[in-house]
Structure 1
Amino acid sequence: MSYKTILAYFARPDGVQGVMDAALPLAEKFGAHLIGTHVISGVPVTGTIGAQVPPEIIEQYAQHMREDAAAIKVAFSKAIKGAPVQTEWRQPELKVLGADILHLISEQTRCADLVILGQSDAEQRVGELTADIIIAAGRPVIVVPKNGTATNLTGKIVIAWDGSREATRAAFDSLPLLKEAQSVFVVSVQKRGGKDPVTSGCGELALSLARHGAKAEAVVLESSTAAGEALTKYASDNDCDLIVMGCYGHSRLRERLFGGATRHILQNMILPVLMSH
């Protein structure tokens, strides 16, 4: 298993460099075809919405979208100049405001081995589009934080393990990275003083990954804080480069079981996160 098609999605011009810092080294390492994409949001041209919006506002919005799209394409072209990888640029356009941008994005993500995108604004609800893309993509997604670097995704890697199907999918979706990694920590968070049967499974996962060639070890954390906070602190304290974890979307039950780790890490990112749903 390897990553042979990597799709980098750009929402804003100022997020291009961070995403490319992660995408280019991986494309080179795995000999992958790198696709850069940005969806141009449409403006209302017919119907009730269009009738209510003044033409000058529509034109201002359209001009802003065109300027953003042009700036993103320029930044992508600049980033790939001289890079020893095969690249491609895609720029689909939505003709009507409010059309399903997620559908257009997910049509492309599902034909890629790996998707890389930037972190949403902190004020957005659970990362909004970022979380929606992870859920809809059907592929592993690396989310790059707005602040920080993502140039060494095969250094030290933390796998957030809770024994779930989502965590399992994320761990094995990340195998190409794990096999190249300097070290892999399979981390299970246990309430301080508690006994959780899931923690024994992290040792089994570490052994399984080691059979694939990963330098994996199991770590059981006893913590009085929520799982997301404990994982973030462990990754920071150990100078890790990537967190791998399952994404539970909007399921309230799953969020309770995992202590809201998905929500916490999407909103408080300090390093890149690979998520699978």
Structure 2
Amino acid sequence: MSYKDILVFLDGSTDNNARMEFAFSLAQAHGARLTGVDVDAAAAFEGEWTERAKSLAETFHAVANRSGVHVRFKIADRNAAGWKDFYAHYADLLIATQPNPEAFGKVLSGVPEQVLMSAGVPMIVLPQGWKPRPVGKEVVIAWSPSAQATRVVHDAMPILARAEKVTAFAFDPPADREDADVEMLREHLLAHGIKIDIDMWSNAGDLSPIEALYASPALEEADLIVAGAYSHSRFREALFGGMTKSLLQQFSLPVLVSH
């Protein structure tokens, strides 16, 4: 069980090297081909981004030569406003970084949210300023009995199957003592050879699902969130911008998310 085609979005930002390093390490682990897609807008070739933007292909291929990963390099249409030219349909997994206000106008506007919403491919979103470290050893699933949660759990199977520890975080308390939803998730994943722990957040109070998730002990050692609660508007805003700064800063871990 593994990803065979991984795609990473490349740009002239200071987050690019960490994103690229992570993509290569994941491709090595899964024996996958890695496609790098240059999504710099025309404005990236002016000012402080210029040298980094111009050297993307050279840097990408230099890392490929050292790593032994089979790669492809593509350049997105600098005038493209949509996702159709970003090659996302031809991958099992996409890798991007949270939008950075400083990158506005320098990265094609469809990346990352519009691509995720339209391409039907799961994406790992790295936090701004993220430093490369192991990802996928201890995973927390933000679970809810929904289509979105079910989709992302199945999209994450190659990572869940390799994890040392998987915890399902359930925000909503059970309807009654006979509610077996999370136990059925446990049995379903066990059928795939994946053992999970369960963390029930039964006293929500005034906390949002995001706040409860980050208050959970399950996240203390976690290195990846599998975002089954993506349909929740506050989660989407926190991941892609538009919320208060303090809540946005809580996203210190990579998030694997599907739509």
TM-score by shorter chain over 0.5: yes
Percent of counterpart pairs with the same letter?
27
Find out whether 1:204 has 2:178 as its counterpart.
no
Q: Does the CA contact (< 8 Å) of 2:139 and 2:165 recur in 1?
A: yes
Q: Quick one: structure 1 residues 68 and 20, their matched pair in 2 at CA, closer, same or farther if it must change by over 3 Å?
A: closer
Query: What pairs up with 1:13-162 in 2 under 5 angstroms?
Result: 13-42=13-42, 61=43, 63-64=45-46, 67-94=51-78, 96=79, 99-105=80-86, 108-121=87-100, 129-162=111-144
Q: Quick one: structure 1 residues 68 and 84, their matched pair in 2 at CA, closer, same or farther if it must change by over 3 Å?
A: closer
| RMSD (CA atoms) | 2.8
Deviating beyond 6 angstroms after TM superposition, the runs of 4 or more aligned structure 1 residues are: none
Find out whether 1:242 has 2:216 as its counterpart.
no
Structure 2 unaligned spans of 5+: 241-247
Q: Does the CA contact (< 8 Å) of 1:228 and 1:265 recur in 2?
A: no
Q: Does the CA contact (< 8 Å) of 2:140 and 2:167 recur in 1?
A: yes
Give the aligned partner of residue 263 of structure 1: 237
Structure 1 unaligned spans of 5+: 43-60
CA shift, 1:205, in A, is 1.1
Give the aligned partner of residue 167 of structure 1: 149
Q: Secondary structure at the match of 1:73?
A: helix
Q: Secondary structure at the match of 1:153?
A: coil
Aligned length: 241
Moved more, 208-217 or 29-38: 208-217
Q: Does the CA contact (< 8 Å) of 1:181 and 1:215 recur in 2?
A: no
C-alpha separation between the residues in 1 aligned to 2:99 and 2:218? 21
Give the aligned partner of residue 51 of structure 1: none
Q: Secondary structure at the match of 2:55?
A: helix
- What is the identity, as a one-letter code, of the residue corresponding to 2:25? P
Q: Quick one: structure 1 residues 116 and 62, their matched pair in 2 at CA, closer, same or farther if it must change by over 3 Å?
A: closer
Q: Does the CA contact (< 8 Å) of 2:166 and 2:197 recur in 1?
A: yes
Q: Does the CA contact (< 8 Å) of 1:40 and 1:66 recur in 2?
A: no
Q: Does the CA contact (< 8 Å) of 2:9 and 2:36 recur in 1?
A: yes
Greater helix content: 1
Q: Secondary structure at the match of 2:83?
A: helix
* The structure with more radius of gyration: 1
C-alpha separation between the residues in 2 aligned to 1:199 and 1:118? 37
CA shift, 1:115, in A, is 0.6
Q: Does the CA contact (< 8 Å) of 2:225 and 2:255 recur in 1?
A: yes
